[in-house]
Amino acid sequence: MAGTGSCLVLFLCSHAAGNATLFHSLRLFQAYANQLHGHPMIIYVLSKGLFLTFAIHIITGILLFWQNRKARDHKYKVQKRTVKMSQASRTMIYSGLFILLYLIIHTSAVSFGDHETIGLTISYLFSSPLVILFYITAFIVLAIHLSHGFWSMLQTFGVNHPKYNKLTGWLTYIVPISFLLIFGAIPLLFI
Amino acid sequence: MTKNSIDLTLKIWRQENSRKTGVFETYRLKDISTDMSFLEMLDVLNEKLTREGRDPVAFDHDCREGICGTCGAVINGVAHGPEPETTLCQLHMRHFENGDTLVIEPFRSRAFPVKKDLIIDRSSLDRIIQAGGYVSVNTGGTPDGNATPIPSATAELAMDAAACIGCGACVASCPNGAAMLFTGAKISQLSLLPQGQPERKERAMAMVTAMDKEGFGNCINAKECEAVCPKGISIRNIARMNREFVKASFLG
Amino acid sequence: MELTANVPEGPLSEKWDNHRFSSKLVNPANRRKYKIIIVGTGLAGASASATLAEQGYEVSSFCIQDSPRRAHSIAAQGGINAAKNYQNDGDSIWRLFYDTIKGGDFRSREANVYRLAQVSNNIIDQCVAQGVPFAREYGGTLANRSFGGAQVSRTFYARGQTGQQLLLGAYSALSRQIKAGNVTMHTRQEMMELVLVDGVARGIVTRDIINGELTTHSADVVILATGGYGNAYFLSTNAMASNVTAAWRAHKQGAGFANPCFVQIHPTCIPVHGSYQSKLTLMSESLRNDGRVWVPKKPGDTRPPASIPEEERDYYLENKYPSFGNLVPRDVASRNAKEQCDAGKGVGTTHLAVYLDFSEAISRIGEAAILKKYGNLFQMYEKITDSNPLHEPMMIYPAVHYTMGGLWVDYNLMTTIPGLFAIGECNFSDHGANRLGASALMQGLADGYFIVGTSIANYLGSTKTQAVNTDHPQFAASKKQVQERIARLLQSSEDGPTGKLTVDEIHKELGLLLWDHCGMARNKEGLEKALAELPAIQEKFWKNVYIPGSGEELNQSLERAGRLADFLEFAEIMIRDALARKESCGCHLREESQTEENEAKRDDNNYSHVAVWEYQGKDKEPTLHHEKLTFENVTPSQRSYK
């Protein structure tokens, strides 16, 4: 989970950087898209690799979810969370599935659409307040998913040391919030 | 010491043996001294049940001073009850209010089958240790105790991890019934100390494999284990185990 | 009963070497053919199981708990002694030997104690190699502290959890052998009977605690490592499952029981707070360095301590023993606390406690300094009692802690039954009439890691054992005896609980009888009274105890009843032993044997011996034998602390 998760975070970074061109102008964004598609090899490798990473991330996630449900075969009569922050960790599967739903919609509408008119596609898309709402909700869910996922990834890689825990603690807030701000602001540009 | 006493309603999981299914039974206790430990409160209940000709509640316990790791139950959803860093035997009734209802359940996990009432089988934890939680050294012929200096801070870190009492509360509280804190603590202790170096990689691989084989769940970093651990073992030990495991798997 | 100590020839410091050289060995290839049963997985049992399995024997290990890691050795806090002299403060093997034998008030065997001091150093090396995280100095070397009044710093420790860490070390070695298939581990098994074939120990009968199933196990050698019997008193610092059953079963089959009246009572425990109390918690004795012990002068004074003016307080230790004051030895402190409470001056809700007051020390060196020294102890005390010793005096009371008595063993740790060995607290041990702090862990591991292996090889190498397995009729007969015994235990419960007593009610009665008359201070009159009252309690138990459930299931009441039945029989030799030893010695004051200044008076002319009891059968008086103790290397001295 952590391995694929970290790849996906990197993808999000590049995606956010690309999309940030929208803050300048729709034209620049279109130019960026055209530029990107001018290298079919890159697109081919990246899109297949990305698909594979997503698939592994999702399938492992679902498998682990089932395995973990089986390991706790008997629920407690009284369920109590001692750790308040752990809510995000317990809902990873649900936030993850919602993001999957978003991905299906987003990719079929945007990514697999005609890249030459991608600028038009998104301005058409974001003319509907419902779509904007759906996108922003998805980004909030993504932020929640990442709020646990990012720290969890570090922990799984063994990064937990009093010396650096303050920094990683900050990053677990900064990383999801940055993504939320960048991605979340884009639909709002079209209002 | 205060002379207060409280009345309680107990809802306790009763299960005759591992083949039968259990149910919750309700008992009422009056005038429980707040100076009693939780287990002494159960003693009082059992004396009462015995006198009434009913079957007393079976529960595991031994040292009653918080070190043997035998006792444990989930009280109102929290393993070892509401006090931090406290085993059930060291939990006193003054932490409860008059009229409280306490739901008392056994530690649950697929790897911890219930034997009777609150008694569970934790031999899966022993098998994790058997897989590699040791330094392979025979009796005799060992070098002088001072032959290898160990920095005081390292010894203290190893001791932090070694303080685990093997009660299984970490597994009981984990939403997935994972034994990562237990296993991580032992792997940490031995990978920190010079004596543990020769078998460092094999140990990490063997113990993690054994843990998965026993049917414990996976860590989702919910941190519940750390919160209920009566010895305050940190999840830093899980990170250290992960590091050991990653190193052993990829750098062989 | 023949008591041959088998102490080797030669000068004291060469005896162990001579013995190892003259002992028979078993060819490594032949070891696999020998089966060894080890009961108990504390420090002694776990270390012996691991060591013998490493040597190649086929070991079966048994424990009553759900895991071998939970044996009561785990609760030892303070540390473990060794004669390493790492601190360069004048320690040596000879000094550790001398301190131990003197601490035991010259009631132990010179050769055994010397060997203990010799192997103490190997124990530390062994444990370090296993990864036991002992405390370290900043330079990385092992740290030591001075403990239990010793003048040298020879105690190694791992925070306040030394027993736990040493046990986990032994448990890890045992786990490795289980994995290797050299040890078959049987958990949640209670030993119910020892099986003798032709007078030789050849196996045991166990009861599975989960389903009540009885199983027989055969072997060439049986080793008992089943701990002490402090729970005879009901309240003690022992774990709930600690019991005398295994040792007592062996005793009834012919193993001599040595010095059963030697029980160590620790002065600084958290007092009893109610009749529901199930166990007592020990706090380090070091508290007496800064705490002042007192009670109100007026009996029955129930005012809170703060409202009792200075002139109405009795600092009885300081008044009675001006030069030692609050630091008098354990037994003196314990005895005086009980005396004060018996005189009606006890404090707290149960009036079974005395104050240990830190206010003077706090005003002298400040709260911070006190907390630095005793912070963790204060915390533990507050957790249990909800009272902060910084603001009100602690309450303390003595409690039964350790039993020096146990199965009699020779230099080889073999009991009077051939093939039956006893190690750790279970044997009558090297501690004489009193045990020094941090020496119990040392003895358990010495026996298990370094001594019993030599003994077993010597025994097997010099004895022709016949092939015996569980098909031998004696196993079926022993199993039947156990079945009948369980049926007899359950008999009184057939017609329901009405008018009956629970196991604990009777156990508390026995405990009180022993505490009152066979505790710290004894006298003839009290002991005879106890001996006269004991049969009534025994009868009450067999006729009136109510045990719910059956023997074929997990039945904790039945387990406790079985152990109590043995404590009830065992109590008789405890009292008889105390009665026969008309001297004050080690832990105990025999009131008839005091100096003019009311100090304990030892009587070396008449009692410089190990008292060994032989079972003669039901309703027959046991017989007493003596193993004379000779001191060739030390001169027994009388202690004085006035």
Residues B157 and B88 in one domain: no
Residue C264: beta bridge partners? C402
- Would you say residue B1 has pLDDT above 50? no
Q: Are C506 and C571 in contact (CB under 8 A)?
A: no
Interface pTM, i.e. ipTM: 0.97
Interface of B with C in 173-212 (CB under 8 A): 189-190, 193, 195-196
Q: Do B243 and A155 touch (CB under 8 A)?
A: no
- Would you say residue C483 has pLDDT above 70? yes
Q: Do B158 and C159 touch (CB under 8 A)?
A: no
**B171 closest CA partner among B82, B91, B74:** B74
pLDDT tens for C400-449 read: 999 999 999 999 999 999 999 999 999 997 999 999 889 999 999 999 99
Secondary structure E strands in C342-416: 354-357, 394-403, 406-407
pLDDT bucket at A116, cuts 50 / 70 / 90: confident
Question: Tokens in use for A55?
Answer: 């698939």
At residue C642, the pLDDT reads 57
Share of chain A above pLDDT 70, in %: 98
Residues B128 and B239 in one domain: yes
Q: Are C64 and C500 in contact (CB under 8 A)?
A: no
Pick the range with the lowest mean pLDDT from A58-72, C48-62, C304-318.
A58-72
Rounded alpha-carbon distances, angstroms, from residue A116 to A11, A38, A44, C446:
22, 11, 17, 83
Across C138-144, average pLDDT: 95
Across C207-216, average pLDDT: 98
Q: Which residues of C touch B38 (CB under 8 A)?
A: none
Q: Are C6 and C451 in contact (CB under 8 A)?
A: no
**A124 closest CA partner among A17, A26, A34:** A26
Which residues form the domain of B22? 5-105
Topology of the domain comprising C266-399: Flavocytochrome C3; Chain A, domain 1 (3.90.700)
C/B Cβ contact: 3+ pairs below 8 Å: yes
At residue C325, the pLDDT reads 87
At residue B250, the pLDDT reads 86
Residues B47 and B129 in one domain: no
Q: Do B105 and A78 touch (CB under 8 A)?
A: yes
At residue C599, the pLDDT reads 83
Q: A92 to chain B: nearest residue by CA?
A: B220
Mean pLDDT of chain C: 95
Looking up residue B171, the CATH number of its domain turns out to be 1.10.1060.10
Residues B136 and B46 in one domain: no
Q: Do C279 and B65 touch (CB under 8 A)?
A: yes
Q: Do B103 and A156 touch (CB under 8 A)?
A: no
- Would you say residue B142 has pLDDT above 90? yes
Share of chain B above pLDDT 70, in %: 98
Q: Which residues of B touch C553 (CB under 8 A)?
A: 16-17, 116
Pick the range with the lowest mean pLDDT from B208-222, C104-118, C151-165, C324-338.
C324-338
**B180 closest CA partner among B232, B221, B227, B145:** B221
Across A128-132, average pLDDT: 92
At residue B3, the pLDDT reads 58
pLDDT tens for C83-100 read: 999 999 999 999 999 999
Q: Looking at B52, B72, B105, which one is the last position of a domain?
A: B105
Residue B238 lies in a domain: yes
Q: B218 to chain A: nearest residue by CA?
A: A68
Residue B111 lies in a domain: no
At residue C284, the pLDDT reads 82
From 1.20.58.100, 2.60.40.10, 3.40.50.720, 3.90.950.20, which CATH number describes the C473-604 domain?
A: 1.20.58.100
pLDDT tens for B75-103 read: 999 999 999 999 999 999 999 999 999 99
Residues B37 and B92 in one domain: yes
Residues B100 and B181 in one domain: no
Across A102-114, average pLDDT: 86
C532: Cα separation from own chain's centroid: 26
Q: Do B142 and C75 touch (CB under 8 A)?
A: no
At residue C641, the pLDDT reads 61
Please give the Cα distance from B44 to B33 (Å, whole number). Answer: 10
**B34 closest CA partner among B124, B100, B123:** B100
Domains of chain A plus CATH, in order, are 2-74+86-189 (1.20.1300.10)
In chain B, the number of structural domains is: 2
Across C36-61, average pLDDT: 98
Interface of B with C in 39-78 (CB under 8 A): 39-40, 43-44, 47, 49-56, 58, 60-65, 67-70
C182: Cα separation from own chain's centroid: 29
User: Is residue C32 annotated as part of the catalytic site, yes or no?
Assistant: no
pLDDT tens for A2-54 read: 899 999 999 999 999 999 999 998 889 999 988 888 888 888 898 899 999 99
Sequential DSSP letters for chain A:
-HHHHHHHHHHHHHHHHHHGGGGT-HHHHHHHHHHHHT-HHHHHHHHHHHHHHHHHHHHHHHHHHHHHHHHS-S--SS---S-TTHHHHHTHHHHHHHHHHHHHHHIIIIITS-GGGHHHHHHHHTTSHHHHHHHHHHHHHHHHHHHHHHHHHHHHTT---TTTHHHHHHHHHHHHHHHHHHHHHHHHHT-
Q: Which CATH architecture has domain C12-262+404-462?
A: 3-Layer(bba) Sandwich (3.50)
Residues B130 and B97 in one domain: no
Residues B38 and B150 in one domain: no
Please report which helix (H) or strand (E) contains residue B43, including its range: helix B38-51
Looking up residue B88, the CATH number of its domain turns out to be 3.10.20.30
**B28 closest CA partner among B42, B46, B7, B44:** B7
Residues B88 and B145 in one domain: no
Residue C199 neighbours by CB distance under 10 Å? 11
Q: B129 to chain C: nearest residue by CA?
A: C175
Higher pLDDT, B237 or C325: B237
At residue C214, the pLDDT reads 98
At residue C24, the pLDDT reads 97
Please report which helix (H) or strand (E) contains residue B115, including its range: strand B114-116
Q: Looking at B54, B73, B105, which one is the last position of a domain?
A: B105
Question: What distance in Å separates residue B193's CA from the closest CA in chain C?
Answer: 7
Across C42-60, average pLDDT: 98
Please report which helix (H) or strand (E) contains residue B170, including its range: helix B169-173
C620: Cα separation from own chain's centroid: 27
Q: Say which of C69, C330, C435, C563 is annotated catalytic.
A: C330
Interface contact B11, partner A, CB < 8 A: yes
Interface contact B162, partner C, CB < 8 A: yes
R_g over Cα of chain C: 24
Q: Can you give the residue ranges of every domain in chain C?
A: 12-262+404-462, 266-399, 473-604
Residue B16 lies in a domain: yes
Residues B188 and B78 in one domain: no
Q: Which amino acid is at B249?
A: S
Residue B69 lies in a domain: yes
Residues B170 and B218 in one domain: yes
Interface contact B105, partner A, CB < 8 A: yes
- Would you say residue C43 has pLDDT above 50? yes
Q: Which residues of B touch C213 (CB under 8 A)?
A: none
Residues B179 and B230 in one domain: yes
Question: Tokens in use for C124?
Answer: 């530390």
pLDDT bucket at C165, cuts 50 / 70 / 90: very high
pLDDT bucket at A189, cuts 50 / 70 / 90: confident
Please report which helix (H) or strand (E) contains residue B79, including its range: strand B78-79
Question: Tokens in use for C191?
Answer: 């030993």
pLDDT tens for C509-568 read: 999 999 999 999 999 999 999 999 999 999 999 999 999 999 999 999 999 999 999 999
At residue C640, the pLDDT reads 66
pLDDT tens for B24-62 read: 999 999 999 999 999 999 999 999 999 999 999 999 999
Please give the Cα distance from B108 to B13 (Å, whole number). Answer: 11
Interface of B with A in 118-137 (CB under 8 A): none
